[in-house]
Chain A
Amino acid sequence: MTEKVKVRIDGEVIAATPGQTILEVARANNKYIPALCYMEGLSAVGACRLCMVEVSGVARLLPACTTPVQEGLAVVTSSPQLQSHRKIALELLFAERNHVCAVCVSSGHCELQALAQDHGVTHVRYPYNYPRLTVDTTHPRYVLDHNRCVLCSRCVRTCAEIEGAHVWDIAGRGIHSRLVSELQRPWGEATTCTSCGKCVQACPTGAMAEKGWGVEEMTKQPAVLSRLTSMREGQ
C-alpha cells in the first residue's frame, strides 16, 4: 500500500492516494464538484472548466479533474466566485451552439441541462452565436447533431481508449472546432467504426443519439462504460 496524503476538501480532512486528482478524491468522499467533460474511466482533459476549484495558496482557479493531490492541499469546491465562474462557463456553452431543449431527444436526461438547472442559469447574458451546423444521419443506427455538441470530447476518448477504434477527433480550432469522424467522412461511411454505440452512451447531451427516439426519450448509461474500464483494470 502506498503512503496516503492528507488533503482538506471543504474543511474536512481526507486521506488520499498520491496520483489521484482532486476530483477523484472528492467524488470518492461524496463531495460534489460539477463536471461535464470528465468521465470516470477516461483520461481527463480539463476542457469544460466546470470543475474549477479554489486551492489555498494558489491565486488562480485550478481544474479539479487534472490537478493531482498533494500533502496538505486545501480545496474549496464551492464559493460565490466559483458559482459565478461555472455559470459563465455554462452560459458560454449555450451561446456557442444551437441548444434547443424543447426539440431535443435528450431533454430531461441531459447533463448540460441538469447542470444549468443546478446553477440557476435562467438566461444567457451573451448573444447567441447561431452557427450554421449540420446533422449527420448517415449511420444506420445513430445520429450526430453538431448543434448540440459541447466538444467535451468524451466520445473521442471513449472510442479511442475503451473501444480502441479512434473514429472521432476534434478538427479545427477555437470557435471553428468540430467533431469529425476519420477524414471528415460521413459517420455511416467510416471504415473504422464498429457501430458499438459507446460514443452515444458517453455523450452528455443530445449531440449523439440512437435513431428512433422522440423528444425526451433518449436515456444514456455512461456509468456502464466507466464500469467497463474498472473491470478491465481488475483483470
Chain B
Amino acid sequence: MANSLVTALPHPEDQDLIDRIIGDQAGRPGALLGILEKLQDHNPHKYLPMETLEYVAARTGVPQSQVYGVATFYALFNLEPQGTHTVAICRGTACHTRGSRALLERVKLQLGLQEASDGADKLTLTTPDRHFTIRTVACFGQCALAPVVEVDHAIRGHVKEQALMREVDALRKERAR
C-alpha cells in the first residue's frame, strides 16, 4: 500500500476500524462517501480528523486532494470536533423574516461564541468545552413553522428567544449534574 506517504497515522485501534469500514465498501463506485459517513459517525466528536482522511486516501488509493474535496463539498462532514449538543438554526428566507437572526445572535451571546470571519455560508461554532455546537442551516423545509430550530435532531417550530434560551440552559445544567 502507499503507506510510505502517510505522515501521521491514526490510533492503531482506529486503523482497524477504518480498515474494516473500507473492507465493507471496497470496490463499489462512490464508496468514499459511505466510508467517510461511517467514520464520522464512529468518531466520538463526530468529525473527520486529518489523519483519518490521510489514512483513508492511502488505503483506498483515492488521491488525498479528492478525499479532501469530497469532505469539504458536503455540508454533512465536519473537519472540526463537534459539541455534545447541537443547535441548528434555520437561516432560510421564511425563518429570516420571522427573526432567526435574533435567535442566532442570542444563542451566540448566551454561549459566549464569536463568529469566525471566514465568511462561509455554513456557520459552525463549537464552545471550547465541546458541550455545544451551533450551526446554521439553509432550510429545513418546514417554513410554515418559521422560525425553525433543531435541538439535538428534534425540530422546534415557532421558536421564541426566551424558549430557546431556556432549552439551552436546561442542556447546560444537565452537564452540571
Contacts and interface: CB of A to CB of B under 8 A. Distances in A.
Most buried by A among B53, B54, B69: B69
A172 B73 contact: yes
Interface stretch (A45-53, A102-110, A180-188, A201-209): A180-188
Interface in B40-61: 50, 53-54, 57
A93 B121 CA distance: 20
A180 B65 contact: yes
A183 B53 contact: yes
A171 B63 contact: no
Given A166-B65, A182-B64, A171 B54 contact: no
B137 interface: no
Interface string A156-183: 1000100000111111111110001111
A171 B120 CA distance: 13
Sort chain A's interface into a size bin.
20 to 34
Interface string B102-138: 0000000000000000001100000000000000000
A169 B121 contact: no
Interface of A is mostly: mixed
A181 B53 CA distance: 14
Given A171-B68, A183-B50, A191 B7 contact: yes
B64 A171 contact: no
Given A183-B53, A183-B54, A191-B7, A173 B73 contact: yes
B65 A173 contact: no
B66 interface: yes
A172 B54 CA distance: 18
Given A173-B73, A183-B53, A167 B121 contact: no
A94 B107 CA distance: 38
Nearest to A189: B7
Given A183-B50, A183-B54, A192-B64, A170 B5 contact: no
A176 B75 CA distance: 12
Contacts of A169: 63, 65-66, 68-69
Contacts of B65: 156, 166-169, 171, 180-183
A183 B67 contact: yes
Contacts of A181: 65
A86 to B, nearest CB: 27
B36 to A, nearest CB: 13
Contacts of B50: 183
Nearest to A179: B65
Nearest to A176: B120
A180 B68 contact: yes
A160 B63 contact: yes
A174 B121 contact: yes
B72 interface: yes
B73 A183 contact: no
Interface in B60-92: 63-69, 72-73
A176 B53 CA distance: 21
Interface in A120-168: 156, 160, 166-168
Interface of B: 5, 7, 50, 53-54, 57, 63-69, 72-73, 120-121
Given A166-B63, A176-B120, A180-B65, 7 more contacts: A167-B65, A169-B69, A170-B69, A175-B121, A182-B68, A191-B5, A192-B5
Interface of A: 156, 160, 166-176, 180-184, 191-192
Query: 9 tightest CB-CB pairs across the interface, nearest first?
Result: A169-B65, A166-B63, A182-B64, A169-B69, A171-B72, A183-B68, A172-B72, A171-B69, A191-B5
